Amino acid sequence: MDQTKTVKNHVKRVARTLAETGALFFDDNLLLKDGRPTPYFVNMATFRTGRMSLLLGSFFAEMMVSEGLEKHVDVILGPSYKGSAIALSTSIALWQLYQKDLSFEYDRKEAKTHGEATGKKGMFVNRSLFDGCRLFIVDDVATSMATKYDLLEKIEAEAHMSGMTIHIEGIGIGIDREQTTAVYNEEGNVVLGRKGNNAIDDFRARSGIKVFAVAGIKAVVQYLYEERMPVLVKGNRVPMDEKTKAAFDLYLDTYGVDGG
């Protein structure tokens, strides 16, 4: 099958699923963690049943296999909390769909010092990391990549404490928001209407780690708009109207990478 057609079909399936589950929604007065307003949000916590969890995992598994990553990974790691569910569902999907059996792991918010972790201050729950292991990190969205930087620090600390060498083969995100980082003034307040840097490019340059996305938000929204598929807009499931699409386009013109 033509690779371009395969990619387009993949984006369509992801877009339809985001719309059907309400994971993608549009509303007023939404704020990102960095303080900027946004006309939309992606909440993959809506994949809350067994069927939907497996479907979400299949998207990540398909992405990993298409990039050949499953051949070079031992452990799938998801940052708590949402990333932990993605790591589990991805490992299940890899086994069910591709007969590739990988461990999954997720971090603690605070180090455990009792039970099996007595005296070790373990920061990872399943204790599946080992010397020379190859990690693939999975998470729901990419905005500023701050969560990913925090996780890298935990991995580095764990490796140092345990005397292990850990290789990170890449980071997989569900939806790339395709936007720049926030800009702050001297008082630490976000400057509205100003673009920072390309968050993913900055992350690659600083960490040397490749980033892979299941889908980009522009293609997802464009497909849903053109197909008139019902999405959650201000709490109602309706086809995306021109006003909602215009607000999305303006947002990416303002904060998006490469001019949105």
Q: 230 - beta bridge partners?
A: 239
User: Contact at 8 Å (CB) between 127 and 161?
Assistant: no
- DSSP of 84-134: HHHHHHHHHHHHHHH----EEEEEEEEEE-SGGGTTT-EEESS----TT-E
For residue 81, is the peptide bond before it cis, meaning its omega torsion is within 30 degrees of 0? yes
Asked if 114 is an active-site residue, the reply is yes
User: Contact at 8 Å (CB) between 122 and 108?
Assistant: yes
Annotated active-site residue in 10, 112, 120, 210? 112
Pairing of strands 75-78, 103-112: parallel
- In angstroms, how far is CA 100 from the centroid of its own chain? 22
Distances (CA, A) of 116 to 126, 157, 162, 166: 10, 18, 14, 21
Asked if 245 is an active-site residue, the reply is no
User: Contact at 8 Å (CB) between 231 and 26?
Assistant: yes
Which residues belong to the active site? Answer: 112, 114
